[in-house]
Structure 1
Amino acid sequence: MKQVLSILWIASFLLLSCGKKDSGPAAVIPTNLVLSAVVSTDNSGKVSFTASATNAVSYEFDFGNGIFQTSTTGTLTYTYPMSGTYLVNVIAKSSTGETVAKSTTITVAKALSLIFSDEFDAPGAPDPTKWGYDIGAGGWGNNELQYYTNRIDNAFVSNGTLKIKAVKESFSGSGYTSARILTQNKFSFKYGKVEAKAKLPAGVGTWPAIWMLGSNISTVSWPACGEIDIMEHKGSSLNKIYGTVHHPARFGGNADGATKDILNATTEFHIYTMEWDAATIKFLVDGTVFHTVGNGSSLPFNQNFFLIMNLAMGGTFAGPVESGFTNASMEVDYIRVYQ
């Protein structure tokens, strides 16, 4: 009998002990979330946001372009780098981690400022304060046939345009010469708009390009540095314009690109444009978007890049050069960068 009473007493004690266990603080639910956005009318891209909610202690803003910011007051101002329509989302969080969300769509006008340009008005060699040269053969992995020089024969300004000229000649073991000029260590930028007005060479085997590489290429190499090809063209497919990005997940033959067929690429000037921000990279010809790539924190397109312009011969992209080729030029009226 005493054993039964002892067991009953222990069971009662355990039951009462469990009943007294601390269950922790009750969840605090944020409610009544209100979000407002006031877009500046001065074309600055500036937007003032105000979020408020009952029981909220912090607000996480997603500006709709890949940029996030947290505020404890719910009030902040953000300046968009590019014009566009953006879906803005805010998450209000309580002291216990409970959340409520709200979204709004805004349209922002951003007047871009010119931060770099070359109008190619001064005759002679390209401006040495803006452009350097890659010198050598083979195209650094592309099996190209030309030798890139820094001679005025291959890159020069005359009559208001830059000419990058490929010539059939024997030079340092190569059968062709040409030029590859670049702004590395002279100018680079992160996000913005590049616009180049150019007339492309004809001739099977020609491969003109206006493009960019990540400024950290000397430390991380390619494709980890990222590559943005604003315009590529090959003489074997006249009038087909390529816009492409390369990165560690997609590069070479598996790069992320698209094409657009235009008229008179080799007889008339066209405007080749790339628009780049934290959310997207867009490729345009004559104002028409033909390819859009999503950008994000896992990609190398959130750092400074420098500009490159060149005319290659043959190689893995352009293929064999026609037997009658003597010379051809890419003409560039201007190249401009805006932010």
Structure 2
Amino acid sequence: MGLIMASVFRDLDPATHKSHALHASERMWPETNCYIDLWIEVLNTLRLPPEAMLGFTVTLDFEGDQFPFFKVPLEDLEAIYGIRCTELAIYDEVHHHVAEQIGRGRLCLVETDPFFMPDTRGLGYRCEHGKTTMAINRLDIAGRSLDYFHNGGFFSLSGEDFDGLLQLQLTEEDPPFLPYTEFAKFPEKAPGESAIRQTSRQLLDFHFCRRPTANPIRAFAAVFPAQAEAVAERSFGFFHKYAFNTLRQLGANFELTGSHLDWLSADFAEAAGEARRISEVAKSVQFQLARAVTRKKFEQLQMVLEPAVDAWDSMMGLLAQKL
């Protein structure tokens, strides 16, 4: 646990990193949420297909005030890729644990404050405290710098950001925050493409059986206008939080569903199209919501989600025929 510099992926450089196609700028939702985006880029670095893990997206449900922050089940990562990811106990300063695991070739996923993460400039960096997940690839304690996966890219930070992120500025009298941390153990040899496709197809069957029993977008549509009116009574900053946890999670989730189905088989092409229709509607409605909140006129929101409601029913019906 000395003052060491180490990395998991030794040839990875933030200056030359190329993000996966799932993060291409021409997609409707180039970024989805920090956790799934992080895994897309880690799998991309491992030269494994991240599309294979996305079958779980068919299970997305509406929970009254949000579409939950969708995360790949850890069991799926192990079944598909042989990657074992579990919680890492943090009982000492977090950088000591991270350094130990990096030295063992394991990647640590740490819940951190974007206030100290320069890739969030214009959002959280140095202006708002929050919670996000990063994966630390390179840690240089003596040089006060690290490289990390976050959202759709691979970045670096140093100096005061390094100290703030890892709470190195605290005194002995300051109570530390012990962040929730996971660590990923990679297999000596990854499964082949055929095995990955077979397991991914089996997991789609499994997750399809776990899909919501009632159309979640219909449930959302029923409360959406009233929720929009309540959002209009808050600061405009709250609009962004509401939109992120409803329309963005809905749209990004089903755009990834479409990508998964396209990757899996051409037999699912029609269902993939319906998934993308849901994504398109969510994107459009996000702009309509912003206008409604600004103008405080909500009548037009009554039926705007209906095309997505119909697309969900159609997608699930098509998948039922194929699975």
- On whether the aligned pair clears a TM of 0.5, the verdict is no
Structure with greater strand share of residues: 1
Q: Which has the higher contact order (CA 8 A, sep 6+)?
A: 2
Structure with greater helix share of residues: 2
TM-score w.r.t. structure 1 length? 0.23
